[in-house]
Structure 1
Amino acid sequence: MEIRQIEDNEKIGEFINREFTDYAVDCDVALNFEEFTFAAEDDGKIAGIITGRAYYNEVHIGDLIIGKEYRRAGVGSRLVAAVEETYRGRGYDKIALTTFGFQAPEFYKKLGYELEFVREDRDPKLCKYFYLKKI
């Protein structure tokens, strides 16, 4: 058996989806899986995006990226709200995410996310914050 790094392709995606689904079925757990991307656009220009996955009973925000000229203009709040509104009442109990110290811990706190854990780092900017919000 050989272990190697590969680029994502259709064959890999099919394997992941099949095995992820089959394992959930074997464990008698509802998979409830979907990936998402929401974009904020301003006259056709992307101002920001939010990506993630929903599975089992949890939504996980992966990335929230706001263009420099749109930061502090409410774009991030609106993108997070879009995720919350989309998945509320659809069988998901919570939204989970992580952020680094230099990114947005206070932003998520302001949006009602509760801090679960901080993984400390020698560089405070690289401490990792784990947040959760029940929906």
Structure 2
Amino acid sequence: MKITIESDPGAQVRDLIDQGLDIFNEAKAGPLQASELWVIARDDEGAAKAGLKARTYFGWLHIDWLWVSPEARGSGVGSALLSAAEAEARARGCIGAHLETYSFQAPDFYERHGYQRFGQIEDYPPGHSCIWLKKRF
């Protein structure tokens, strides 16, 4: 076989690898039941001012990211987004949530909401840490 480094292998190859991994994982761990979850906060004009992107699978909520615009920070909207995502995850049958964040982002925010650290890499990125957190519902 020839090994190549590719920045964009194309949709067909990405789908082949994604589906192949899903088939393997489901054979070992049961149905993936993967579903995207977006929680958006909009102002009175309908403009998005904050959002949370996540996925539910294998009975857990994985939070990819949570963003709050500068003008909305400190208003409680981040907490409201997180609470809404957790409520939807529970409705989907999830038993907990997990995420990764950086030391310069929001680890304290998540800890205030009941998340516990379970892993950390120092100097990722240099001078900071990458932190993994989880919460059981």
TM-score, normalised to structure 1's length? 0.85
Query: In 2 relative to 1, CA 115–47 (structure 1 residues): closer, same or farther, beyond 3 Å?
Result: same
- The 5 Å alignment of 1:83-122 reads 83-121=85-123
Q: Distance in 2 between matches of 1:80 and 1:113?
A: 11
Match of 1:119, as an amino acid?
I
Query: In 2 relative to 1, CA 95–5 (structure 1 residues): closer, same or farther, beyond 3 Å?
Result: same
Counterpart for residue 25 of structure 1:
26
Counterpart for residue 37 of structure 2:
36
The question of whether the paired residues in 1 share the 8 Å contact of 2:60 and 2:89 is answered with no
Q: CA deviation at 1:17?
A: 4.9
Q: Distance in 2 between matches of 1:28 and 1:100?
A: 29
Q: Distance in 2 between matches of 1:36 and 1:8?
A: 25
The question of whether the paired residues in 2 share the 8 Å contact of 1:32 and 1:56 is answered with yes
SS of the equivalent of 2:135 reads strand
Q: CA deviation at 1:59?
A: 1.2
Q: CA deviation at 1:36?
A: 1.8
Q: Distance in 2 between matches of 1:42 and 1:16?
A: 39
The question of whether the paired residues in 2 share the 8 Å contact of 1:47 and 1:75 is answered with no
Unaligned 5+ residue runs, structure 1? none
SS of the equivalent of 2:93 reads coil
CA deviation profile, 1:22-56 (whole Å, cap 9, x unmatched): 22332251211112221100121111011122111
Query: In 2 relative to 1, CA 8–93 (structure 1 residues): closer, same or farther, beyond 3 Å?
Result: farther
Match of 2:22, as an amino acid?
T
TM-score, normalised to structure 2's length? 0.84
Q: Distance in 2 between matches of 1:33 and 1:95?
A: 14
Match of 1:79, as an amino acid?
L
Counterpart for residue 64 of structure 1:
66
The question of whether the paired residues in 2 share the 8 Å contact of 1:47 and 1:66 is answered with yes
Unaligned 5+ residue runs, structure 2? none
Q: Structure 2 residue aligned with 1:127, among 101, 126, 129?
A: 129
Q: CA deviation at 1:8?
A: 6.4
